[in-house]
Amino acid sequence: MFKIPFLDLPPLRGAAGTVRLPGSKSISNRVLLLAALSEGKTFVRDLLASDDTAVMLESLRTLGCGVWREGDAVVIDGLGGQLRAKEAKLFLGNAGTAMRPLTAALALLAATQGGSFEVSGVPRMHERPIGDLVDALRGLGCEIDDLGNAGYPPLRLRGPSKLALDTPVRVRGDVSSQFLTALLLALPLVAERSIRIEVIGELISKPYIEITLALLARFGIAVQREGWEAFVIPAGSRYVSPGEVFVEGDASSASYFVGLGAIAATDTPIRIEGVGSESLQGDVRFIEAAAAMGAEVKAGPNWLEVKRGAWPLKGLTLDCNHIPDAAMTLTVMALYADGPTTLTNIASWRVKETDRIAAMATELRKLGATVDEGPDWIRVQPLKDWQAAAIHTYDDHRVAMCFSLAAFNGLVTAAAKPVRILEPHCVAKTFPDYFETLFGVVSVDAADVPVITIDGPTASGKGTLADEVGKLLGFNVLDSGALYRVTGLAARRAGLDLDDGDAVAAIVPTLQLRFADGHVFLGQEDVSARLRAEATGLLASQVAVHPQVRRALHQLQLDFRRLPGLVADGRDMGTAIFPDAALKVFLTASAATRAERRHKQLISKGISASIEGLREDLEARDERDKNRSTSPLEPAQDAQLLDNSALTIEASVDQMLAWWQQRRPF
């Protein structure tokens, strides 16, 4: 996951491959609560690992549930409907799928068994309405205190109190289906007699209620229903663990890859595994909307395949009540259409993680789009004159993922623009590895991938600076100075004759190299310490004399130019390897400063050394590097000079980022 302030997406050009979806958020948190309310152990497999499930799991532990991992399953040792903790403060982040059902369940358990529970979340959660659910629970006799603004979290749920279960429970259905879901999940705990729930107004997001009813049946609760107007919990209902539950992939998350296929999969389709024609989730019907816009879609029981059909896509007008979360993806797909796209019946967007209608309209306009909005609708015009934009994500995972599709604008405009996603880590709510997964199935022109080069003499701090800048930008890192040492080491381990240049060069493309946090990894092995050994240096000298090895390593260095970008350090990165780099820095420091730094490193490792001797050696190496016939050490003509003799690493990083920002169009 990219835990960085922003992630820059260069122009993306195509897509192909297979995506395995994370578990459904809606199913995951429902299953966790149902397992917690049941008696006995439930093995939950393919559970989504995300912020929302993390707060639910922590809450269940606090309430006395046994929670542990066993192999690939999360095991829940349920409460059997009996409170083990009578007091607790639960922090639920911005997880509506945890806040609403836990509020209902704890209110009823506190009423019947006594107790006091506080539920709270992040500031945005305290702006998301819960008053209709609270009103329904108070109508039953539950004692609920507003700890902030009336009708919003935080809340205190306390008891005991007498419940009035002989009259129907009435709840609004036109604000959020989670209120009805919360009651359906909680009322079996007190169903000594049949309990009737009546829905006021038109029920929105009906497919999510279908999920709830299907999962209730898995745990032994056969809800009787009268259309979408009333639901009856049978008398004597009790939760029975099915023993094992598999969580299907998240259909809402599938929408981004369905959209990706419709926009950019021109030859072979994007295959999406984890949802399909037998999915419980209504959002799988997003494929119908994508097909209406021109996508070619195939579906199996647990998979989808999508590729581009009509191009440009076709604008459409669609009532989105049946796909409330997935429909957001259509607003970005609409930019690639042949006419306007209008989405209606989406009032629920305004009470989600953010006001999603306002958020999508605002950020689409940053790209240059013409957008109109109303209380429960949005209209988006196709876009030709694209603008580079920094997308504010409002701590909303779906905003971040939707706007990644805007990076394909080069498919409809000659002047392709990059897209910056602010606070990309917000995707952790449902899909922590979303961007890594995206990068695994998209194609890009190498020239579009941004490169920063840091060249300079030995011991100037290039590697440390490259690592720090790479971390902050989410870029890959290349330590070119380690390549010859790794090649020599790998060749020796393979039993090759180091005098056989062709054989050594042939091993270079097979090297699985990775640079991270100042370490060098060969496959899964950290070889950093071995590379510093004198013997490895001798191996590097032996292989470096072969022109074919140098050519192979040149190509290997070019191959490090991967999404979302690269920071490359060495002595000729900006002059010979990446002459088109967007930012070139020549880093240096006085020989005396570098000798002092090297001396401290050696002393810390128990190696004795003379500062004067180190300084003389560095000066001699500088002279050799400057005068070598191939790629002499010198700044690129357009390089920024950075003397860090008197700078901290933090100051050097700040200067690098300032130069980088000056070169970005945001």
Query: Which residues does the annotation mark as catalytic?
Result: 325
* 81, 139, 213, 218 from 189: Cα distances, Å: 6, 17, 15, 16
Contacts of 127 (CB under 8 A, 6+ apart): 152
Annotated binding-site residue? 352: yes
- Hey, what amino acid is at 649? I
446 assigned ligand-binding residue? no
419 phi/psi in degrees, rounded to 5: -130, 130
The rounded distance, in Å, linking the Cα atoms of 187 and 169 is 10
82 is in an annotated binding site: no
Write down how long the chain is: 666
Q: Which residue type is seen at 538?
A: L
CA distances from residue 56 to 48, 181, 600 in whole angstroms, order as listed: 11, 16, 48
How many separate helices (H) and strands (E) can be counted in the chain?
21, 33
DSSP 240: B
What's the one-letter identity of residue 87? E
Establish whether 429 is an annotated binding residue. yes
604 annotated ligand-binding residue: no
For residue 620, give the H/E element and its range.
helix 611-627
Residue 461, marked binder: yes
Is 645 marked as a binding-site residue? no
DSSP 312-376: SBPP-EEE-TTSTTTTHHHHHHGGGBSS-EEEES-GGGGGSSS-HHHHHHHHHHHTT--EEEETT
Whether 124 has a binding-site annotation, put simply, is no
DSSP state of 187: G
Phi (first) and psi of residue 309, to 5 degrees? -115, -95
| 325 annotated as ligand-binding | yes
Task: Say whether 458 counts as a known binding-site residue.
Answer: yes
Q: Is 243 annotated as a binding residue?
A: no
Q: Establish how many alpha carbons lie within 13 A of residue 353's alpha carbon, considering only the half-sphere containing its beta carbon.
A: 22
Does 250 count as an annotated binding residue?
no
Q: Can you say whether the dihedral through the CA atoms of 544, 549, 553, 556 is positive or negative?
A: negative
Q: Are 201 and 170 in contact (CB under 8 A)?
A: no
Q: CA 395, CA 392: separation in Å to the nearest integer? A: 8
Give strand pairing partners of 73.
45, 70
Q: At 517, list the tokens.
A: 């946090």
SS3 state at 248: coil
Does the annotation list 606 as a binding residue?
no
Residue 244 is inside which H or E element, if any?
strand 244-246
Residue 628 marked as a ligand binder: no
SS (H, E, C) 66-109: EEEEECCEEEEECCCCCCCCCEEEEECCCCHHHHHHHHHHHHHH
d(CA 130, CA 111): 19
Tokens of 644: 């860090």
Which residues are CB-neighbours of 237 under 8 A, at least 6 positions away? Answer: 188, 191, 220, 221
Was 266 annotated as part of a binding site? no
351-377 residues labelled b (16+ CB within 10 A) or e (exposed): bbbbbbbebbbbbbebbbbebebeebb
Consult the annotation and say whether 100 binds a ligand. no
Residue with token string 């010979």:
576
Q: Which residues contact 93 (CB under 8 A, 6 or more apart)?
A: 51, 52, 55, 121, 122, 125
Q: Is 50 annotated as a binding residue?
A: no
Phi-psi map region of 119: left, alpha, beta (phi>0 left; psi -120 to 50 alpha): beta
| Known binding-site residue numbers for 3-phosphoshikimate | 25-26, 30, 176-178, 205, 325, 352
| Known binding-site residue numbers for ATP | 456-464
| Known binding-site residue numbers for phosphoenolpyruvate | 25, 96, 128, 178, 356, 398, 429
| Known binding-site residue numbers | 25-26, 30, 96, 128, 176-178, 205, 325, 352, 356, 398, 429, 456-464
